[in-house]
Amino acid sequence: MTSSTGQQGTRDKWLILAAVCLSALVLPLSFTGGAVATPAIGRDLGGSPAALTWITNAFMLSFGSLLMAAGALADVYGRKRLFTFGMSLFTAASIAQSLAPSVFWLDVLRAVQGVAGAAALASGSAALAQEFDGHARTRAYSLLGTTFGIGLAFGPLLAGALIEAFNWRAIFVFTALIGIVAMIFGLPRMRETRDPDAKGLDWPGTVLFSAMLGLFTFGLILAPEHGWGSPLIVGLLALSGVLLVAFVLVEMRVKRPMLDLTLFRFPRFVGVQMLPIGTCFCYIVLVVMLPLRFIGVEGLSEIDAGLLLLALSAPMLVVPLLAASLTRFISAGLLSGVGLLIAATGLHWLSLYNVGEARFALVAPMVLIGIGAGLPWGLMDGLSVSVVPTERAGMAAGIFNTVRVAGEGIALACVAAMLASLLQSDLASALHVAAGSAEAQLIGETAQRVITGDMAHAINIVAGLDSERLVQGYASAFQSVLHILTVITLLSAAVVLGLLSKDRTVTEPQRAVA
């Protein structure tokens, strides 16, 4: 009887893990699927360029800004309760997105889906820590990370296949079905757990942090259309700066802060935060921007674009595991820094490719970028907690995840704004259009539509602008953006190598400071 009960308990634990992994799988699917579907959504529903940009950014911002808050709520109100709420809301939002009548409502639902995703992932991850111990826990979290890699690797291909077989709405139906399966497997077996020492949520910090991220990203998205010097953009960016200062002041005074700023006293902890920033700019932005380029500008079908993107994302299935094995001989910090250097090399190589050239020429630089990004990808989570005292590991992991996910939204907004501004400047120069004129505004709208993959509408906005010149301007702007990404990745590598390539543990003086 005891043996049978033990086997049942073990089976339940692995079914819970399967459910949490499925919930983690739909997050990158939602992320990459929305990016691949953006051109098709634009053709079907129309919408302004800014509205189409928010299809991706609304999800990433709400998800990233609320991830730490969701973890605190799970500790207070129960991991199973919040997982149930998160997956139910995620599934409902996915179904609603498949029925969305306009881009506006799709953006709203994407933000809701991000809230649900934060609740599901934070509570599901915390629940796994209660179900597994020792080596089994390590394996469980390794499988969770691998699931993310699978979602990133095959998300674009799956999204392309669904669009080609049905339409873009099928992507959200599919994610809803996965959510339903996850709840069927997980909820009956998951037990309710709480943190008995949890004191509640840092509401002031949460509100200030979320508002700051939203205003900053909104300003970046609108800047190419309104101009960087316009009162609206200056006001949005300035207000986000004020909220950032207010957030820091609040976090320094509350007893249980959402973000413990004292951890930034550890130089190696600062170095760890550069890892998600580096991988955002060398990898994540390409997962979003390349499908828009392949489909909207180069005219590939969604499924062909997904197949081509496997060159970028498939290394994520292998390289992180290889990196973990190599840490027996080489420090994780050194491996991570070398990986960013490899990714920077791939970015420069990719910049040499021009729109319209043979597609196989893209494969090698994309594989190199995927390998380079994959080296720190599998080591970041472990480094985030190994460079601080053990008693601070939970908060360190929370800060790291927030930097990683919120950084993705900010990186996407920055790169989209750079690409649109460079394209707008190129077209205005070619057509001899004065800044601030009515025609300049039309060129700005054209640039915004091109970067969201809506070439069909972009070509008809400005009289006398032919498609060949538009593609030429886009290619030049994209090349410049790749150069900027190369520099950012090199700087990230320099910081990582400078701060993480030597000592691998927290010293006693550092513990005393903590």
Mean pLDDT, all residues of the chain: 80
User: Per-residue pLDDT tens for 359-392?
Assistant: 788 899 999 999 999 888 877 766 766 666 655 5
**Rounded to 5 degrees, what angle do the CA atoms 372, 376, 381 make?**
160
Confidence of residue 504 (pLDDT cuts 50, 70, 90): very low
Give me the amino acid identity at 373: A
CA separation for the pair 313, 52 (Å, rounded): 24
Question: What does the pLDDT read at residue 347?
Answer: 95
Neighbours of 188 (CB within 10 A): 11
Say which residues have a Cβ less than 8 Å from residue 367's Cβ, sequence separation at least 6: 311, 312, 314, 315, 346
User: Per-residue pLDDT tens for 349-361?
Assistant: 999 988 777 778 8
CA 346 to chain centre: 20
Task: Identify the CA nearest to 343 among candidates 479, 482, 478.
Answer: 482
Question: What does the pLDDT read at residue 37?
Answer: 84
CA separation for the pair 363, 357 (Å, rounded): 12
Say which residues have a Cβ less than 8 Å from residue 466's Cβ, sequence separation at least 6: 459
Question: Considering all CA atoms of the chain, what is the largest pairwise distance in Å, rounded to the nearest integer?
Answer: 84
| Mean pLDDT in residue range 226-230 | 78
Say which residues have a Cβ less than 8 Å from residue 200's Cβ, sequence separation at least 6: 72, 76, 256
Give me the amino acid identity at 7: Q
Helix or strand (DSSP H, E) at 11: helix 2-45
CATH number, span 1-190: 1.20.1250.20
pTM passes above 0.85: no
What letter would DSSP give residue 202?
Answer: -
CA separation for the pair 148, 26 (Å, rounded): 9
Q: Which two tokens stand for residue 445?
A: 């709208």
| Fold of the domain spanning 259-413+488-514 | Growth Hormone; Chain: A; (1.20.1250)
User: Per-residue pLDDT tens for 123-181?
Assistant: 877 777 667 766 666 567 667 767 777 777 778 788 888 888 888 899 999 989 988 88
Range 147-150, long-range pairs (CB < 8 A, 24+ positions): 147/21, 147/22, 147/24, 147/25, 148/24, 148/25, 148/27, 148/28, 149/316, 149/317, 149/320, 149/377, 150/25, 150/317
> CB–CB of 325/351 below 8 Å?
no
Q: Is the pLDDT of residue 19 over 60?
A: yes
Confidence of residue 397 (pLDDT cuts 50, 70, 90): low
What letter would DSSP give residue 191?
Answer: P
Q: Which residue has the tokens 């960013």?
A: 340
Question: What does the pLDDT read at residue 491?
Answer: 94
| Mean pLDDT in residue range 290-306 | 84
- Per residue, what are the HEC states of 425-447? HHHHHHHCCCCCCHHHHHHHHHH
User: Per-residue pLDDT tens for 30-62?
Assistant: 777 777 888 888 888 887 777 887 888 788 778
Q: Using CB atoms within 10 A of its CB, is residue 360 exposed (0-12), middle (13-18) or buried (19+)? A: exposed
User: Per-residue pLDDT tens for 98-134?
Assistant: 999 998 999 999 999 988 988 888 787 777 766 776 6
Question: What does the pLDDT read at residue 1?
Answer: 45
First to last CA, the chain: 49
Q: Is the pLDDT of residue 513 over 50?
A: no
